[in-house]
Chains A and B, each alone.
Chain A
Amino acid sequence: MTPGPDGGGAPLVALRGITKRYGGLLANDGIDLAIGRGEVHALLGENGAGKSTLVKILYGVIEPSAGEIAWEGRPVRIGSPVEARRLGIGMVFQHFSLFDQLTVAENIAVALSGTASLKAMRRRLDEVSRGYGLGLEPDRAVWTLSAGERQRIEIVRCLLQDPKLIVLDEPTSVLTPQEAERLFETLERLAGEGRSILYISHKLEEVRRLCRTATVLRNGRVVATLDPREASARAIAALMVGAEVGEVKPHGAPAAGEEALAVRGLTLPAGNPHDWTLKQIGLAVRKGEILGIAGIAGNGQSELFAAISGERLAPAAASVAIGGRACGRDGIDARRRLGAAFVPEERLGHAAVPTHRLSENAILSHHATGEVARGGIVALGPARRLAERIVASFDVRGPGRDPQARQLSGGNLQKFVVGREIIRRPAVLVVDQPTWGVDAGAARLIRQALIDLAVEGAGVLVISQDLDELFEIADRIAVIRGGELGPARPTASWTRHEIGLEMMGVARESAHAA
């Protein structure tokens, strides 16, 4: 619709009336989108708006229920990723489509069609990666690489096919601020070469920096197509969410207080080669305080969570103390009995059993401390009532009275899983990625619930990759990197730049050098 900024004329790709129906649910509803040549176009929307669905249709992974796609003016059917690539569409997914046990070179080769010899491909790989400043070692196994390096593979893989349109789905969710900066430079360069870019994100600042056109999706529909630099952030946010979400009410933390949760000198060897070894972790969460742990994905967060929750036992009992009681050698239920509660990162499969109903999932973390199980017998009535209370208190919406966990959307399931722990009014709450992949309304509710819990006097530990979230709710922030935890400082004393450096391990080195 809006012609591209460089040279008008026919857009490179035009989607008209794209609709995707899943039974009664409309994931995409009559979407119109056009991208010009050399244009950097943003696709904005919160989680659940239908961005990924649309993009998968464009890439041939899913078939649309209705609508058409025009490429360079001609209507096309994109039946598979192979066809999309042949047209000249390259895609960098949010979750990388990589094969951990294969090498970098193999990961790239497997996605390329055509009969180029392995040697020729490696030469081109070298050219491209060096040309764009995206260094890669072809013979390293992918599982040894960081998220930023993996993304480079995805981008190089994409560039090797000389794409006319590059689609990036939430690319900065796994990057440090500095790496994100480098990515933006690369993208600007690609746009300068005449390639079009479709940039999917829910982060307004990035979009305003990179793009001159943005399409805003909400509930599967286009609600606006605009220039993000002209409209105000507030207005765009309101369009994305459909209403004023309201801000989270922060609270002032007490200057000092008893320690609700203390970890000292926790060293835990990795359970398997893909995990990080935790080295001398030390932290303390005071009562009434929210301590945030920032870090890029895959730097030991899950291992830390497992050690604090009791899913893995620490070598020394004194390594972990809840309410002053040493419990490093106790299991998770013993720690729950001491007044702690835990919310893991993965809601389906870890926090909840996908095929179990909410009432059954309520039993999962309450059986050792509540009335849902006594003397080894499960009490279904109290379990159902507990689930109903959680649903009511935390605005959990789903089909039927007692739906299965997998029937809930991400936001609703997350509300249930967090609510299930908050409802027991724990003295300590440890939560890993509280609002990942969750719509703005649910995210706000969860963050407010965390704050309210702290106000009541609990100590809350929040592990999150979302810096905005931590800046919003945490009183102090520490950074985890490579299994080591830096010192916690009051939130106000951090800048995003400093945290970014800390995430990359730069600051620590310079601090040592000083």
Chain B
Amino acid sequence: MTPLEAILLTIVTASTPLLIAAIGELVAERAGVLNLGVEGMMAMGAACGFAAAIGFDSTAAGVATAILAGAGMAAIFAFAVLGLAANQVGSGLALTILGLGLSGLIGAPFVGARRDPIPHLHVPGLADLPGIGRLLFGQDAFVYVALALAAAVALFLNRSRAGLTLRAVGENHVSAHVLGLPVLRTRFLAILFGGACAGLAGVYLSLVYTRFWSPGMTAGRGWIALALVVFAAWRPAYALAGAYLFGAATVLQLHAQAGQIGLPSQLLSAVPYLATILTLVLLSIGRGRAVGAPGSLGAPFVPDR
């Protein structure tokens, strides 16, 4: 395997959790809800998923637990912002703090444990193609799931009636309510989906990316996923592109570090965060202002009955 192949492979693994989490958040935001709790839900997914995988000695159990954990945290968030119309920014932050703390508690007994690598797909023949073979046909299941998720969400939003309802609710919840569309139910389901995706992204980190749990292992990826949604102008296709771009930035600094480039390692570690800021700025310049955000994003919904 050439060094280039190795780098491309690591980019894919670095990008996958970002893509999964971003797709989930994208759906929630298209429905009009800003969920800043992604980081905490991801951490919970990582810890709970790892704990379950060790406990039941089963990757599948770990994944299922992680999805439930993420969705569970999301349900708490949903109750706060939908049921009580609480401030969305504050509630999201609360969930992140809670998630980070809780995940530390849950993961503590499992620090130091390790899991075996999960099986990779291996399409006979195709996977042995030089260069792109392993890249396209030799990845682990999560990678393909992430891609499938992106495609499915794109189809859902643009081609299905439920997707149209969700877009309408996010665009103008007043009109949606007057027309009789189920605003709260739609948002609730969207939030749960977002949380489940965050949990799934998290368990990918602890079971595949590093195969162990350590506190703080999400390292701000949840926030990067949030930035990704903005970058993608709330469109799944662009989220796909953006995830791989951001993943590349993360990987770049790792390889640069290893390659002894002579720059301080902290500078290289800062690259993903600086890249995020730079991207957002360039986007704003390029796109102009106020384009693309769902009209009701973040606004609490309290209908008059």
Chain A residues packing against B (C-beta within 8 Å): 60-63, 80-82, 85, 93, 96-102, 106, 109-111, 272-273
Chain B residue numbers with a CB within 8 Å of A101 are 171, 294-295
A150 to B298, CA, bound (A): 26
Given contacts A100-B295, A102-B171, A106-B164, contact A60 B178 (CB under 8 A): no
CB distance A63 to B167 under 8 Å?
A: no
CB distance B291 to A99 under 8 Å?
A: no
A116 closest partner in B (C-beta): B161
Among residues 249 to 303 in chain B, which have CB atoms less than 8 Å away from a CB atom of chain A? 288-291, 294-295
Given contacts A82-B180, A110-B168, A272-B290, contact A98 B175 (CB under 8 A): yes
CB distance B304 to A62 under 8 Å?
A: yes
Q: Mark B185-227, 1 if CB is under 8 A from A, else 0.
A: 0000000000000000000000000000000000000000000
* Contact of B305 (CB < 8 Å), options: A62, A96, A97, A99: A62
Chain A residue numbers with a CB within 8 Å of B304 are 62
Nearest 4 pairs of A and B residues by beta carbon: A81-B180, A97-B175, A82-B180, A99-B171
* Contact of B171 (CB < 8 Å), options: A62, A85, A100: A100
Of A82, A96, A99, chain B has the most CB atoms within 10 Å of the CB of: A99
A507 to B295, CA, bound (A): 37
CB distance B165 to A110 under 8 Å?
A: yes
B1, CB-defined interface residue at 8 Å: no
Of B171, B172, B288, chain A has the most CB atoms within 10 Å of the CB of: B171
27 residue pairs of the A-B complex, CB under 8 angstroms, read A60-B180, A61-B177, A61-B178, A81-B178, A81-B179, A81-B180, A97-B172, A97-B174, A97-B178, A98-B175, A99-B171, A99-B172, A99-B175, A99-B295, A100-B295, A101-B294, A102-B167, A106-B164, A106-B167, A106-B168, A109-B161, A109-B164, A110-B164, A110-B176, A110-B181, A272-B289, A272-B290
* Contact of A102 (CB < 8 Å), options: B168, B174, B181, B289: B168
At the interface, is chain A mostly helix, strand, loop or mixed? loop
A62 closest partner in B (C-beta): B305
CB distance from B111 to the nearest CB of A (A): 47
B167 closest partner in A (C-beta): A102
CB distance from A409 to the nearest CB of B (A): 16
A60 to B175, CA, bound (A): 14
A98 to B15, CA, bound (A): 37
A99 to B167, CA, bound (A): 9
A272 to B295, CA, bound (A): 15
A418 to B267, CA, bound (A): 58
CB distance B167 to A97 under 8 Å?
A: no
CB distance from A480 to the nearest CB of B (A): 24
Chain B residue numbers with a CB within 8 Å of A98 are 172, 175
Given contacts A63-B305, A100-B295, contact A111 B171 (CB under 8 A): no
A63 closest partner in B (C-beta): B305
A165 to B293, CA, bound (A): 37
Chain B residue numbers with a CB within 8 Å of A272 are 288-290
A107 closest partner in B (C-beta): B168
CB distance from B239 to the nearest CB of A (A): 18
B304 closest partner in A (C-beta): A62
CB distance from B272 to the nearest CB of A (A): 31
Chain A residue numbers with a CB within 8 Å of B294 are 101
B175 closest partner in A (C-beta): A97
A111 closest partner in B (C-beta): B179
A85 to B175, CA, bound (A): 16
CB distance from B199 to the nearest CB of A (A): 30
A99 to B172, CA, bound (A): 6
Chain B residue numbers with a CB within 8 Å of A96 are 175
A80 closest partner in B (C-beta): B180
B159 closest partner in A (C-beta): A118
A62 to B304, CA, bound (A): 7
A98 to B181, CA, bound (A): 13
Of A85, A100, A110, A273, chain B has the most CB atoms within 10 Å of the CB of: A110
A469 to B171, CA, bound (A): 35
A79 closest partner in B (C-beta): B180
CB distance from A147 to the nearest CB of B (A): 15
A98 to B291, CA, bound (A): 18
In the complex, besides A93-B178, A110-B168, 19 extra interface pairs with C-beta distance below 8 angstroms are A62-B305, A80-B180, A81-B178, A81-B179, A96-B175, A97-B175, A97-B179, A98-B172, A99-B171, A99-B172, A99-B295, A100-B171, A101-B171, A101-B295, A102-B167, A102-B168, A102-B171, A110-B176, A111-B180
A61 to B180, CA, bound (A): 8
CB distance A99 to B168 under 8 Å?
A: yes
Of A62, A98, A101, A106, chain B has the most CB atoms within 10 Å of the CB of: A101
Chain A residue numbers with a CB within 8 Å of B288 are 272-273
Chain B residue numbers with a CB within 8 Å of A85 are 180
A97 closest partner in B (C-beta): B175
A85 to B178, CA, bound (A): 12
CB distance A273 to B291 under 8 Å?
A: yes
Chain A residue numbers with a CB within 8 Å of B161 are 109
A93 to B177, CA, bound (A): 13
CB distance from A91 to the nearest CB of B (A): 9
B171 closest partner in A (C-beta): A99
CB distance from A93 to the nearest CB of B (A): 7
Q: Mark B111-155, 1 if CB is under 8 A from A, else 0.
A: 000000000000000000000000000000000000000000000
CB distance from B143 to the nearest CB of A (A): 32
CB distance from A274 to the nearest CB of B (A): 8
Chain B residue numbers with a CB within 8 Å of A97 are 172, 174-176, 178-179
A80 to B291, CA, bound (A): 33
Among residues 75 to 119 in chain B, which have CB atoms less than 8 Å away from a CB atom of chain A? none
A91 closest partner in B (C-beta): B178
A81 to B289, CA, bound (A): 35
Chain A residue numbers with a CB within 8 Å of B172 are 97-100
Chain B residue numbers with a CB within 8 Å of A102 are 164, 167-168, 171
Chain A residue numbers with a CB within 8 Å of B180 are 60, 80-82, 85, 111
A157 to B181, CA, bound (A): 15
Chain B residue numbers with a CB within 8 Å of A62 are 304-305
Chain B residue numbers with a CB within 8 Å of A106 are 164, 167-168
A98 to B167, CA, bound (A): 12
CB distance from B203 to the nearest CB of A (A): 35
A271 closest partner in B (C-beta): B289
B174 closest partner in A (C-beta): A97
CB distance from B293 to the nearest CB of A (A): 9
CB distance from A66 to the nearest CB of B (A): 15
B296 closest partner in A (C-beta): A99
B165 closest partner in A (C-beta): A110
A38 to B217, CA, bound (A): 70
A109 closest partner in B (C-beta): B164
CB distance from B189 to the nearest CB of A (A): 17
B158 closest partner in A (C-beta): A106
CB distance from B142 to the nearest CB of A (A): 33
A63 to B171, CA, bound (A): 26
